[in-house]
Structure 1
Amino acid sequence: MAGQNCRVTVVLLGGLLLLAVLLMRGAEASEIALPQGSNITILIKRGTSAPPAKPCFIIVSKRHMTVLFIKAGEKMVFTFSCQDPQNHFVMEIQKNIDCMSGPCPFGEVQLQPATSTLPTLNRTFIWDVKAHKRIGLELQFSLPRLRQIGPGESCADGVTHSISGRIDATVVRIGIFCSNGTVSRIKMQEGVKMALHLPWFHPRNVSGFSIANRSSIKRLCIIESVFEGEGSATLMSANYPEGFPEDELMTWQFVVPAHLRASVTFLTFNVSNCEKKEERVEYYIPGSTTNPEVFKLEDKQPGNMAGNFNLSLQGCDQDAQNPGILRLQFQVLVQHPQNESNKTYIVDLSQERTMSITIEPRPVKQSRRFVPGCFVCLESRTCSDNVTLTPGSKHKISFLCDDLTRLWLNAEKTISCTDHRYCHRKSYQLQVPSDLLQLPVQLHDFSWKLLVPKDRLSLVLVPKQKLQQHTHEKVCNTSFSYLVATHLATPGQELYYGSFCPGPGGSIEQIQVKQNSSVTLRTFAPGFQQEFYKQGLTVSFTPHFKEDGIFTVTPDTKNKVYLRTPNWERGLPALSSLSWNISVPHDQVACLTFFKERIGVVCQTGWALMIIQEQRSQPEEIFNLEEVMLPKPSFHYHNFWVNISNCSPVSGKQLDLLFWVTLTPKTLDLTAIIITVVAGGALLLLALGLIICFVKRKKKKNKGPAVGIYNGNANTQVPRQLKKFHKGRKDNDSHVYAVIDDTMVYGHLLQDSNGSFLQPEVDTYRPFQGPTGDCPPSPPPICSRTPTAKLTTEELPPCISPESESEPYTFSHPNKVEVGNGDTDIPLLDTQEPVKPAE
């Protein structure tokens, strides 16, 4: 271990010494001598970096200069005024080669002058070769070959090759290249300009290419790309990302081993505005009977090709006023053929009108090593990594992929109702077609878009098995789930109801949604094929309702049911309203518990309210979620509603609510038993007393007819003054009756002039006797307020009625009684004269 550390130290010291030598060399005098007639010039100038705090100059014969130009046949001795000239100056060495006035110096190109004789500056060697229009020049690159890079990319070692061509007096950039690629040759006509950029620290002393003479190629250029094994190459049209020259032709030749397969994918492209001809790409594939095969740029490009092939880009005559831009960036992927390459699958969508299928790569992390591509091929030739199968047709597909788990399938189907009279109460089954599961790729999403007439119909979703809502407290562990969402009236807002999965602990029997919605079946594992039978939803069109969503919940007796408001991550949308209709079996008691004591929502306008109401004419409980703490755990013996209505919340203070329901069996209370026994005994005694009274009355009736004697001389008024009675009670017979019969002998005093009995004025409220469990409690009106007023427990919001119409009350209105000034006694009966009863 110590020896290894010692070697690392030596290497570091050696690197520091080399750097010091190079820095010292920058301050030493440099001598450059260019041979006469070499057509070489050298330009030393300031770089493009920001000007340094301390300026640096070129010193020639004690003169300080910022630019130094050396021509052929000249000798120059110079130094720099700083120790790090490589940070301030760059050097360009250009050699002009004229192949029109004399023979071209074909063969390997040398670096002149040698890099060892040049100062330690970033240097660029430029070869500008001029040739006749009918002469083709070929740049041949020895190993390592070149790799084209796009705008903004750079080479790892800092060595770049910039290659340009010429059309008359116009320079056309072919591209910028790094080392370690597949480009082996570039052929051009009418001259070439090659620039090799070397960083000041790079020890390279060879150009790495040679120039050869070729016949006319009758096009802008030809780029040859050689594959020796599996790999990929990204290539671009000339002048990329600017426009391809008008009405020009450019060709790429690909050399591919016979045992490998090649596929072409267009990454980005643009087309120009053509006046004449048409922009296109042409393929020449050996063995093809339709050469050249012509494609538009927007078409799916060929794949699964064996052997060498050519690809050409053809421009057009562009509109002079609005030419547009033609450009192309594409990738060629070469890999071994796969087992799936020879299998064909048929996807029949001929009977479908609104269903489409997309097969595409699943997202993966990028890797620097070569990764074979995954392609889907239509009719075995047109291949792409992303294929959409349209409705109304039958499709034949095959796969060119080493690992089919890297692909997945997404499908979409639209179910719409345009006439509410036709589709009212109509239902549809939401099920994944079994044919899709025969494909060798995993189903990721199957989405149904459900469209209804606005303010006419709503939707009801009924699952084949009861659903469980996915929460952090109780996650779904199935291989698939349903994602339910709807678009709100506010543009850009979506109400995401949540993720639901079927299972033994499910409790949600029905989900009602107000307007256009989407239901997405999403799979999480290949095991979906084994659980395929569990999937199934029925959607029905129902009359429109005002709430955004209603959940029908029947809690499981063995499991805790977790429920939460939609848009959990972002908060319930403004002014939305949700209800949960929770059923309680007759032999169970439901305990409702909230996760937090406070919500934390802050309202800008309106009220954030929660209503809890049992469905047995119990008074509703209203809670202001902005101010009032959530209720403690409460017990409910009957079905009940939980309704949430949101306000317009302040940004960052959203409404989200999590609660759960548990069921426990009812137990007999000892106090209730005692009360029941006592009440039963009292009823028994009362029954015995009534029987005894009834027997005694029968006996009296058997003795003779009952006679009631009325004393008409008696004063029937309550005595007001003692002096009006001249005899005491014991001296008169006004209190003597023979028998008081069942019929009240004073009944005539309660009769009016028509003979009917007077009744007290009574106003009685009759409660609603119809069903109370079908509709959720209507939330109080949401009123705008600025600023927000605080709602207390003693005070109701201004637009909430102080009394609910469902509360039973009885109002009795007694008759007014006039009382005299000196009379403080209240008469027992009206003071009208008695009327003799009719016989």
Structure 2
Amino acid sequence: MGQHRLHPGARGRMFWGFPASLHLDLLSELDKTQRTRGLNHCSHIMSFYKSRQVSTQILLMIIAAYVVSGVQKFIVSPGQGSTLKISSSSSQANICKVCISSGGSPQCSTLLLLTDTTPVSVEFTCPEPEDVFIVETVRNIDCSASSCSNHIIQDDSGLQSLLAFPRRFTWNIKAPKAFKLDFTKMGLRQIGPSETCSDKHTFTLLATGNVLVGKYCRSGSISTAEVTSQGSFSVDVPAGQKLQDEQVDVSVGEEIKSPARVSLTLPKGTSTTELLSPNYPDSVPDDGVMEWDFQVPLDHQAAVEFRSVAQPRCLRKEPAVEYCGALRPLLVLSLDKAQPQQLQENFSMILSNCEVDGELPGSGLSLSFTVSASSSQDHHLIIILCVVTIPVVIFLITPVCIYIGRKIKKLYNRVSVDGPDDTNLQPENNRGPKTRQDNESSAGDPFLSSAHFQSSSFI
């Protein structure tokens, strides 16, 4: 056997509770007994570690590690009509391979494809392959002009031995015009790129050209989705998470003008649903179109609000949003306009992109928006409350205003009537204001005083 060397990144590390140098000494001792089997072999290892006063528990762990020899084996069996794909998902793929023996020496690679339903033994050349590889099961569904060959049935039978790996279950679907996915039984809600689902099941819908229609979690208002020509639907589960049994019905869809159309049934009462444009936060494809259909409950009204808009730099046309319904005319708005707030019927919203100047970074279109729904009765109640409250407020405020006005009038009457230039500002019998000198002279003149008295008596 060749001389063992430590990997540069392993120096100073611990293996099974021991320094890497001690682990290297063990490998050297094991080489000396390579041709020895059974108890003699194990006793040699035990004597080696007893010389270093190694505990029995840790010693047994090291013996088990040696029996495995750093290679983990799994028995897998792809399902009928499916392809099992084991591929590397990290930069550690160059130091870890997946191997399969086919009548001779093992064939190792960073990618393994299995289509035969016969159980196969798969080996990995590293102690923790679940940190390096992802397991994917791929099934194909073909639709004719009238029906589809199968439905989406979530089942991980045959892969129980790979439960420690992150897994993805993908269905590739083709149809002459379009196919339709029915999510009525579970409902979906769209999530952002960094969000996770509480049940650890993340669904992904792709349209033609690998356009990301969206990522979703369970329990939402999305009821159906239609995709033109071909696309895929997948569910991702993390390591250790068992796949929940679920079925999504697949049927032939009607011809649509957009690559994808998502339908939502808004719940009764007050609700808010967040939606994202295709490829979010990246750009909608050039001249791309996306359509959403909304079912508004009876006696409810909906409002659309844009939360985040990245305006594209266009070479041709301008992006726009169209709203249409059975009882309302077509409404076309630019992205910087206020969106409708009182939609009281079912409606469709169509987002259209322009031809984007791809030479400029960050020049694409992306949109995040919400659709809020509430009962019309709530709005009627608010109006009634306003109609009743306003007269009550007026009734309560009016006496207060009258009281304050009287107080101000009394205060005004007590104010001095003399102006700054000693002029009496209070008019008397339609006569002009008099100065203090006029008052004094009239008081000293008997005739004027008498005339004033008579005039006052006459009045």
TM-score category (smaller protein): 0.5 to 0.7
In structure 1, how many angstroms separate the alpha carbons of the residues matched to 2:133 and 2:271? 39
Query: Which of 266, 272, 296 in structure 2 is aligned with 1:232?
Result: 272
Q: In the alignment, which residue of structure 2 is the partner of 1:140?
A: 182
Tell me the equivalent position of 2:307: 267
**Distance change in 2, residues 1:59/1:303 (3 Å):** same
Q: CA deviation at 1:309?
A: 2.0
Pick from 310, 313, 332: which aligns with 1:294?
A: 332
Matched, 1:332 2:371: yes
Q: One-letter code of the match for 1:33? A: S
1:189 aligns with 2:222: no
* Residue identity matched to 2:134: V
Is the 8 Å Cα contact of residues 200 and 238 (structure 2) preserved in structure 1?
A: yes
Deviation string for 1:378-418 (max 9, x for gaps)? xxxxxxxxxxxxxxxxxxxxx9xxxxxxxxxxxxxxxxxxx
For residues 289 and 229 of structure 2, the distance between their equivalents in structure 1, rounded to whole angstroms, comes to: 14
| In 2, Cα distance between equivalents of 1:56 and 1:320 | 39
Structure 1: 5+ residue runs without aligned partners?
1-25, 345-398, 400-437, 439-529, 534-839
What one-letter code is carried by the residue in structure 1 that aligns with 2:211?
V
AA at the equivalent of 1:155: C
Kept in 2, the 8 Å contact 1:30–1:119? The answer is no
Amino acid at match of 1:120: A
Q: Which residue type is aligned with residue 316 of structure 1?
A: C
Contact 1:108 1:211 in 2 (8 A): yes
Gapped regions of structure 2 (runs ≥ 5):
1-69, 387-392, 394-400, 405-459
Report the equivalent of 1:474. Answer: none
Question: 1:70 corresponds to which letter in structure 2?
Answer: L
> Residues 155 and 243 of structure 2 are in contact (CA less than 8 Å); yes or no, is this contact kept in structure 1?
no
CA distance in 2, matches of 1:113, 1:333: 41
What is the TM-score with the length of structure 2 in the denominator?
A: 0.59
Change (3 A) 1:117 1:267: same
Counterpart in 2 of 1:214?
A: 253
Distance 1:322 1:200, change over 3 A: closer
Structure 1 residues 69 and 214: alpha-carbon distance in aligned structure 2, compared to 1, 3 A threshold? same
Q: Do the aligned residues in 2 keep the contact of 1:259 with 1:336 (CA within 8 Å)?
A: yes
Contact 1:163 1:174 in 2 (8 A): yes
User: What one-letter code is carried by the residue in structure 2 that aligns with 1:210?
Assistant: D
Q: After superposition, where does 1:116-131 map in structure 2 within 5 Å?
A: 116=160, 118-131=162-175
CA pair 341-277 structure 1, distance change in 2 beyond 3 A: farther
The aligned counterpart of 2:87 is 45
Q: Provide Cα deviations, 1:323-345, integer angstroms capped at 9, x if missing partner.
A: 9312211001122346566878x
Mark the structure with the bigger radius of gyration: 1
Tell me how far apart the structure 1 counterparts of residues 316 and 173 of structure 2 sit (CA, whole Å).
Answer: 33
Structure with the higher helix share, 1 or 2: 2
Contact 1:85/1:120 (CA < 8 Å) preserved in 2?
no
Aligned 8 A contact 1:255 1:307 in 2: yes
- Report the Cα offset of residue 173 of structure 1: 1.1
Instruction: Name the SS of the counterpart of 1:272 in structure 2.
Output: coil
Q: Confirm or deny that 1:104 pairs with 2:142.
A: no
Q: 1:217 and 1:139, CA in 2 relative to 1: closer, same or farther beyond 3 A?
A: same
Pick the aligned partner of 1:173 from 212, 216, 226. Answer: 212
Tell me if the contact between 1:43 and 1:93 (Cα under 8 Å) persists in the aligned partners: yes
The 8 Å contact of residues 46 and 66 in structure 1, kept in 2 or not, is answered as no
Give the whole-Å Cα distance in 1 for the aligned partners of 2:71 and 2:302: 54
The letter of the residue matching 2:113 is I
Q: Residues 279 and 341 (structure 1 numbering): CA distance in 2 closer, same or farther, change over 3 Å?
A: farther
Rounded Cα–Cα distance in structure 1 between residues aligned with 2:195 and 2:88: 24
Q: CA deviation at 1:188?
A: 0.9
Q: Percent identity?
A: 26
Q: After superposition, where does 1:261-660 map in structure 2 within 5 Å?
A: 261-288=301-328, 291-318=329-356, 324-337=363-376
| Equivalent residue pairs, number | 315
Shift of 1:228: 2.4
Deviations 1:755-786 (A, max 9, x none): xxxxxxxxxxxxxxxxxxxxxxxxxxxxxxxx
1:101/1:208 Cα in 2 relative to 1: closer, same or farther (>3 Å)? Answer: closer
Cα RMSD (Å): 3.8
SS at match of 1:306: coil
Partner of 2:112: 69
After superposition, give the CA deviation of every residue in 1:343-386 in whole Å (9 maximum; x if it has no partner): 78xxxxxxxxxxxxxxxxxxxxxxxxxxxxxxxxxxxxxxxxxx
What are the equivalent positions in structure 2 for 1:698-737 lying under 5 Å apart?
none
Give the Cα–Cα distance (whole angstroms) in 1 for the partners of residues 162 and 368 of structure 2. Answer: 38
Taking the aligned partners of 2:207 and 2:109, their CA distance within structure 1 comes to 31
Displacement of 1:236 in angstroms is 0.9
Higher relative contact order structure (alpha carbons within 8 Å, sequence separation ≥ 6): 2
Q: 1:248 aligns with which of 288, 305, 311?
A: 288
Contact 1:196 1:207 in 2 (8 A): no
Cross-structure match for 1:223: 262
The residue type paired with residue 309 of structure 2 is F
* 1:72 partner letter: T
- SS at 2:245 equivalent: coil
Cα offset for 1:182?
1.5
Q: Which among 200, 213, 223 is matched to residue 158 of structure 1? A: 200
How many Å separate the matches in 2 of 1:260 and 1:340?
9
Q: Which of residues 143, 149, 155 is equivalent to 2:191?
A: 149
Of the three residues 139, 144, 151, the one matched with 1:95 is 139
In the alignment, is the contact (CA less than 8 A) between 2:173 and 2:231 conserved in 1?
A: yes
Give the Cα separation in 2 of the matches to 1:192 and 1:342. 47
The one-letter code of the counterpart of 2:225 is I
Q: Secondary structure of 2:170's match? A: strand
Question: Which residue of 32, 35, 51 maps to 2:76?
Answer: 32
C-alpha spacing 1:179/1:32, structure 2 compared with 1 (3 Å):
same
**How far does residue 91 in structure 1 lie from its aligned partner after superposition?**
0.5
Is the CA contact 2:154–2:245 (under 8 Å) kept in the aligned structure 1?
yes
